[in-house]
Homo-oligomer: A and B are copies of this chain.
Amino acid sequence: MHTNEVTIHDIAEILGINSSTVSRALNNSPRVAQKTKDKILKKANELGYQRNDLASNLRKSKTFTLGVIVPRISRHFFSSAIAGIEEAAFKEGYNVIICQSLESLEREQSIINTLVANRVDGVLISISMETENYKHFKGLEQRNIPFVFFDRHCNISKTSKVVIDDFEAAYRATEHLIQQKSTEIAHFSGPQNLEIYKNRFKGYKAALENYKIPFREELVIASSLMEDDGAKNIKKILSLPFQVDGLFCANDVVAIGAIQYLKKIGIKIPEDIAIVGFSNETTSSVIDPALTTIHQSGFKIGQIATNLLLDKISNDDKKQIHETIIVKTNLIERKSSLRIEKHE
């Protein structure tokens, strides 16, 4: 017995014509007479024909599909980026396969294998916290599959990326704390194999330096930046022999963890400690006090990265050109850091 799937051959046989004509008709080729097209289209609808993209893609060696790898889709930044990616891709007739590395290098590698096996036309990647070797990306390169990093990129030379200026944003965030009269400012940083966290740390340090505030090693704590880490880190800070009155966190999640703990033990924000986060998660505007943070438009970053990738895909020359696009961020000032009356 046969599967009940309708193919162009079935349609051809029923109509007593050749399957190549059916194929061309369904693709609206000018080589088929309108009368024939009508006949074929009618019959195709009647039979509920639905093209088998596996066959089509195999023959054309083109899938009109992009792979997207993000650490986790539940992060507001990433889900907005995905929204931007989908919009840009959809506009050009591309589909998107969304995958989560869940911060695991192993999963990231395995996802790339799957994407390659499925012959996606290109890949958008924001790397995991564990990602320290880049073999899997080299593999994409060898297979001539274009890819673009966004947000969490890595430091390999020949790639395109869409990022923000982490150094500058972190500098601004720290500067803001200084302007709010913080003098002992702690920093919760992320895994140092990620460029973004390295750069945020550098920005923090540079601001201190510029304002002649001594840098103290023990005020910087690197972690995975989960909510739990917020409480853990802040406890460490509070046990230090000097009073910390400012905190710049490399993401909002860890900042929120810290705020929750500080509230619980009765430390006042921003009076006792002024806090700034990074990313502008949904929660950040809701928490009390609302969290001052760096807003980065995930949607825009996703869109731009996708357009860059699509450009590479359709334009062989551009595959060799490696661009870095920097998207603007802005500091959103909220209660968690505002200790000074604003003057008009």
Contact = CB atoms under 8 A, between A and B. Distances in A.
Interface of A: 3-5, 48, 50-55, 57-58, 61, 63, 72-74, 76, 79-80, 82-83, 86, 95, 97-98, 100, 113-114, 116-119, 139, 142-144, 256, 260, 282-283, 286-288
B260 A53 contact: no
Given A74-B79, A117-B50, A287-B286, A98 B98 contact: yes
Given A53-B118, A113-B50, A144 B79 contact: no
Contacts of A5: 61, 143
A280 B296 CA distance: 26
Contacts of A52: 58, 117, 119
A94 to B, nearest CB: 11
Question: What number of copies of this chain does the assembly contain?
Answer: 2
Contacts of A82: 73, 100
A124 to B, nearest CB: 14
Contact of A287 (B76, B143, B288): B288
A58 B61 contact: no
A73 B79 contact: yes
A327 to B, nearest CB: 20
Contacts of A4: 143-144
Contact of A53 (B86, B119, B283): B119
A114 B139 CA distance: 28
Contacts of A97: 97-98
Given A54-B63, A74-B76, A48 B117 contact: no
A140 to B, nearest CB: 11
Contacts of A74: 73-74, 76, 79-80, 83, 282
A51 B51 CA distance: 23
A76 B282 CA distance: 11
15 contacts: A50-B113, A52-B58, A52-B117, A54-B57, A73-B74, A73-B82, A74-B74, A74-B79, A79-B79, A82-B100, A95-B114, A98-B98, A282-B283, A286-B286, A287-B288
Contact of A50 (B58, B98, B116, B260): B116
Nearest to A98: B98
Contact of A283 (B57, B116, B283): B283
In this complex, the member of A5, A97, A144 whose beta carbon has the largest number of chain B beta carbons within 10 angstroms is A97
